[in-house]
Structure 1
Amino acid sequence: MRTDEQPERRARRPRRLPRRRSDRVEALTTWVLCGLVAATLVATALVGGWVHAFASDRIRAEQSDRRPVPAVAVADAPVVPGDGGVGPTYGTVRWTAPDGTERAGSAQVPPLTKAGGAVTVWTDDRGDVVAPPLGSEFPLVMTATSVVFTLLAGFVLIVFAVLGERRLLDRLRAAEWGAGWRRVEPVWSGREDSGRR
């Protein structure tokens, strides 16, 4: 058979199934939900980065503003029972401020510190007793906490969005099935004047 006698072959386009309105809405809402997941991940990364930078800056500021100073306990420190052991103990201590003046005040001391015992207190630039600077684990803990809470908030938002999408699609599909049934039922049941009984 010669090639010029062969029937002309046409490139067939794949036939697409008719799409109902609910199918188009579902496709759109699926893309919206994917975008919501992506936005949650981006927001989590941004919040985590911001919190880590903030916590790191706070540690640097506290470490530059606070310094350990030797002090002497004025009185015996009592033992304070706490949850599962000994709680923090506070006692009166004496120390020398940066301007050379003697100061006295309350500070956290080790339990059972005797009067005249050496302790270390943290002071600011003016010589006032302050809390010790935050530890190096502070940025990691704050970052992990913020990431967990941001992911949890995003997860809750996504769950509510999925539930809303399901409810919307269920109503839309029910309306489409109802309209289709109203169109087909008279012919199917023979109530239409089609000659079929």
Structure 2
Amino acid sequence: MSVAAATHGRRAPHTSLRGHARRAVGRDRNPLCRPVDRAYSRLVAASALMALVTVLLAAVAAVLVHRAETDDARDLARHRHAVTAVTTGPAQSDDPRAGSVREQAPARWTYPVGPEAGYVPVPEGTVTGTAVPVVLDDAGQPSGPPRSGDLIVTDAALVGLGAVLVLGSCTEGWFVLRRRRLDRRADRSWEAAWERVEPHWSGRWEGPGAQR
């Protein structure tokens, strides 16, 4: 038998996560279990724990982002006021060179403070005299509405997903590096054991009385 064939089984056979957990805490009484096998089980158990912690941290981050943006949107809503404006000219596009291509139109509206005329965003093709909804700030200036609930949920989901990807990648990288070190350690221990066992193994077939 070649050394390569003998070392084919240098890794421990497939073990369930529960089996790794038992081995990691020293409750596996298998006499063939080597220290390197226990170290590998501790690595698997630690990686599983880190994966759980990653999911929990990502969920916490998503909840915190959702809560913060919801509070901001609620606070901003108190300073936004919906009025109806009437366009005084046709819709026109913004300058594409400015990085924005939207339809705007001159319009007039009524509000206790601030200007009562300006340019407001409108649907494409809006004609003069069209009534359009406009959101104003406390100073009476056209402004954007608070973030919608769908956008807030999307932001929170993206933050959670980003946390999973970043922390998960770190965990996976750490696991791969540690596993490679354990594989090299297993190779060395198996080769040392084979050097001790191989002469006796060979002697059983080539000893006195053995048929040649």
TM-score bucket of the superposed structures, by smaller chain: 0.7 to 0.9
1:152 to 165, 171, 189: 165
Match of 1:178 in 2: 191
Matches within 5 A, 1:8-157: 16-78=30-92, 88-99=102-113, 101-157=114-170
Distance 2:127 2:197 in 1: 95
Unaligned runs of 5+ in 2: 1-27, 95-100
Distance in 1 (CA, whole Å) between partners of 2:115 and 2:30 is 89
Aligned-CA RMSD value:
2.9
Aligned to 1:11: none
Greater share of strand: 1
Q: Cα deviations across residues 136-174 of structure 1 (Å, max 9, x unaligned)? A: 322222222222222233432333233223312210111
8 Å contact from structure 2 (residues 93, 104) kept in 1 = no
Instruction: Please identify the structure whose Cα radius of gyration is greater.
Output: 1
Provide the rounded CA distance (Å) in 2 between the counterparts of 1:89 and 1:132.
17
User: How much does 1:185 deviate?
Assistant: 4.3
CA deviation vs aligned residue, 1:11-53 (integer Å, no higher than 9, x gap): xxx9641542211211221221121112112112211210110
| Equivalent residues, number | 173
How far 1:110 sits from its partner (Å)? 2.3
CA contact (8 A) 2:80 2:136 kept: yes
Tell me if structure 1 keeps the 8 A contact 2:106–2:117: yes
Question: How many percent of aligned residue pairs carry the same amino acid?
Answer: 29
In structure 2, what is the Cα distance between the partners aligned to 1:15 and 1:74? 86
Q: Which secondary structure does the structure 2 equivalent of 1:127 belong to?
A: coil
